[in-house]
Amino acid sequence: MEHLDGNAAAGVLAEVFTMEATTAIVTCGGCGASGPLGAAVAYVTEMGTVVRCANCDEPLIRAAEIRDRVVFDMRGTATMTLAAGG
Amino acid sequence: MSSATREIDRIVTWRPATVSEVIRETPSASTLVLDVEGWPGHRAGQHVDIRLTAEDGYHAQRSYSLASAPEDGVATITVERLDDGEVSPYLVDDAQAGDVVEIRGPVGGWFVWETTQGGPLWLIGGGSGVVPLRSMLRHHQLAGSDIPARLLLSAKAPRDVIYRAELQSWDVTYTYTRETPPGWTGYARRVDREMLAESGFAPGERPRIFVCGPTGFVEGVADDLTRLGHDPVRVRTERFGATGG
């Protein structure tokens, strides 16, 4: 399927993070590359959203919205740096 | 839920939006002005998620860029119809003033331009990829900015150009990929490296570049910009792909 930019995941990220997540710097747990989440690669389906590393394609974040719950799997993210108060 | 928890209002969550006006832009695109109670305002380039719920409870949800400028004070989206889409045919052809949809946002801080970021501002759009770029241009204008700004817009044919009348007040270069106006001497092909070099800012001018359009368009343009010597860090992209509709 066609992929989108990480900013396509902004909606579900904003449900969870109080700080802007698409400008956060994420380090991939797979290859160690880091960059803004908005510049990563996003796959958005009715089942959920997968954000993958732009360098190695490993999944950084999997997010699913199930009725009134949001489930996040971030095991592919080594670190996530957000701008406090931003 | 404790009262202490309830005091923290969640800013980003689903809330009702009432359609207050529908404007037909092109044969396949409409602008919807949305009345959202407690709309917090937005930044140029941000988007919203729109959710429709069928009578049987089935949800369908899509992301749409905001077309209005922050200074407009309202949430406006422009939607292009995808014939096999679940959401866009309703929004483009059937939505009427008074209809209620659900909205989440504004969201996204990455594909955003504000006058404080400086420029020059170079916007490159394919088809309805012009929508968030129009928000940036309106912001530029309504904020009274004197930052140099240019738009390169690729469309299939003149009738497919959204905001056609309004775009006349800005520095816009058009290219038509399928059908040109009579006597047209401008570009009539897909955006390529030569066109970018001729119509845009040089790498040495260090423009802030925003590219929005279909996935193939965005990837081709981003690759050409890099090959022309533009710093990838200054190029921000927003693809809309097959997940639209």
pLDDT in tens, B57-69: 888 889 999 999 9
Question: What residues of chain A lie within 8 A of the CB of B61, using their CB?
Answer: 46
Pair B170, B149: CB distance under 8 Å: yes
Q: Would you state the pLDDT for residue B1? A: 42
pLDDT above 90 (res B130): yes
pLDDT above 50 (res A86): no
**Closest-approach residue (CA) in chain A for B13:** A15
Q: Mean pLDDT lowest for which of B20-29, B76-85, B171-180, B187-196?
A: B76-85
Question: What residues of chain A lie within 8 A of the CB of B109, using their CB?
Answer: 10, 20, 22-23, 38, 86
Interatomic CA distance for residues B105 and A11, integer angstroms: 7
**Closest-approach residue (CA) in chain A for B8:** A18
Q: Would you state the pLDDT for residue B55? A: 86
pLDDT above 70 (res B203): yes
Q: Would you state the pLDDT for residue A47? A: 85
B148: nearest Cα among B170, B176, B181? B170
Do B108 and A1 lie within an 8 Å CB cutoff? no
How is residue A41 written in tokens? 């690669």
Confidence of residue A85 (pLDDT cuts 50, 70, 90): low
Q: Mean pLDDT lowest for which of A2-6, A58-62, B79-83?
A: A2-6
Q: Would you state the pLDDT for residue B241? A: 61
Q: Would you state the pLDDT for residue B242? A: 47
Q: Would you state the pLDDT for residue B3? A: 41
Q: Would you state the pLDDT for residue B11? A: 66
Question: What residues of chain A lie within 8 A of the CB of B107, using their CB?
Answer: 10-11, 13-14, 22
Do A2 and B241 lie within an 8 Å CB cutoff? yes
Angle at A40 between CA A34 and CA A44, to 5 degrees: 145
How close is the nearest chain A Cα to the Cα of B63, in Å? 7
Sign for the pseudo-dihedral over CA of B33, B36, B42, B45: negative
How close is the nearest chain B Cα to the Cα of A71, in Å? 15
Cis before B120 (ω within 30): yes
**Average pLDDT of the residues in B147-159:** 97
Interface predicted TM-score (ipTM) of this complex, two decimals: 0.86
Confidence of residue A65 (pLDDT cuts 50, 70, 90): confident
Q: Would you state the pLDDT for residue B38? A: 85
Interatomic CA distance for residues B25 and B3, integer angstroms: 47
B131: nearest Cα among B211, B67, B218? B67
Question: What residues of chain B lie within 8 A of the CB of A13, using their CB?
Answer: 107
Question: What residues of chain A lie within 8 A of the CB of B13, using their CB?
Answer: 15
pLDDT above 90 (res B243): no
Confidence of residue A29 (pLDDT cuts 50, 70, 90): very high
Q: Would you state the pLDDT for residue B10? A: 56
**Average pLDDT of the residues in B28-34:** 97
Pair A30, A56: CB distance under 8 Å: yes
Residues recorded for chain B: 245
The residue written with tokens 């056609």 in the block is: B164
What are the strands of the beta sheet with A34-36, ordered from one edge? Answer: A34-36, A25-28, A77-81
**Partners of residue A59 on adjacent β-strands:** A52
